[in-house]
């Protein structure tokens, strides 16, 4: 087995990771012999295959979502149906209906805009709820498009959440919001930081693990 990418830095040891799109990445010391790197990868082959199979299974299970044949909203799946006589996207029971003159490209662009609008409203109300519950003050709140993370909190206490979080189940949205608000007290990922999260969400570990199942959403749109 050969890695897809070797990143050489001034580090002393090697590390291995598998990206969301299934690329095997090795980080290694600059002058380390290439054969040593290959040996390292071969030793970790079972670990690599385990992660590659998990990515493959996730891709198969969520194929319709990744192909924009089905859309998620607050953890629920919505099928698509074109309807004559309407001009905008409408949520109807377990369906999203949209105009008959829209092609797939227009639908995707309109859904992205719709998601951002919904995220701005729903997530803003939710973060205000948790800020009050945790007795915390943040500076500003905004939703943005990130490709590799669900949110962030700056040292100026500006909190930004990925608008794609609106596709997640309620409890996972709450975990993300609580996580970022907790950085107001602890600007790190120490044990003290996670104790803050636990005081608000005792089962945060389960939710953090579950959130990884939805990481594929970060690559959409």
What is the side-by-side order of every strand in the sheet holding 140-144?
140-144, 158-162, 151-153
Q: Directed axis angle between helix 191-200 and helix 204-211, to 10°?
A: 100
Q: pLDDT band for 57, please (50, 70, 90 cuts).
A: confident
Q: How far is CA 63 from CA 25, 68, 139, in A?
A: 25, 9, 39
Q: What is the pTM of this model?
A: 0.78
Give the pLDDT confidence score for residue 99 in this predicted structure.
96
Where on the phi/psi map is residue 33: left (φ > 0), alpha (ψ -120 to 50), or beta?
Answer: beta
pLDDT tens digit sequence for 146-186? 998 999 999 999 999 999 999 999 999 999 999 999 999 99
Identify the helix (H) or strand (E) that includes residue 51. helix 45-61
Distance, in Å, from the CA atom of 120 to the CA atom of 107, rounded to the nearest integer, reads: 20
Give the pLDDT confidence score for residue 106 in this predicted structure.
96
Contacts of 27 (CB under 8 A, 6+ apart): 6, 7, 8, 9, 11, 14, 15, 16, 17
């Amino acid at each position: 087995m050969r890695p897809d990418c070797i990143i050489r830095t001034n580090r002393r040891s090697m590390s291995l990771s598998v990206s969301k799109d299934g690329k095997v990445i090795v980080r290694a010391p600059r002058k380390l012999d290439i054969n040593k790197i290959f040996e390292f990868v071969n030793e970790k082959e079972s670990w690599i295959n385990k992660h590659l199979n998990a990515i493959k299974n996730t891709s198969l299970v969520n194929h319709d979502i990744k192909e924009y044949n089905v859309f998620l909203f607050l953890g629920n799946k919505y099928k698509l149906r074109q309807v004559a006589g309407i001009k905008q996207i409408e949520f109807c029971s377990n369906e999203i209906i949209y105009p008959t003159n829209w092609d797939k490209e227009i639908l995707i662009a309109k859904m992205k805009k719709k998601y951002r609008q919904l995220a701005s409203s729903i997530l803003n109300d939710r973060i205000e709820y948790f800020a009050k519950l945790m007795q915390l003050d943040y500076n500003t709140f905004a939703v943005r498009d990130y490709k590799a993370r669900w949110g962030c909190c700056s040292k100026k206490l500006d909190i930004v959440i990925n608008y794609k979080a609106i596709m997640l189940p309620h409890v996972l949205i709450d975990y993300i919001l609580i996580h970022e608000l907790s950085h107001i007290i602890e600007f790190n990922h120490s044990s003290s930081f996670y104790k803050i999260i636990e005081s608000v969400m005792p089962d945060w570990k389960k939710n953090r693990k579950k959130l990884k199942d939805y990481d594929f959403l970060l690559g959409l749109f």
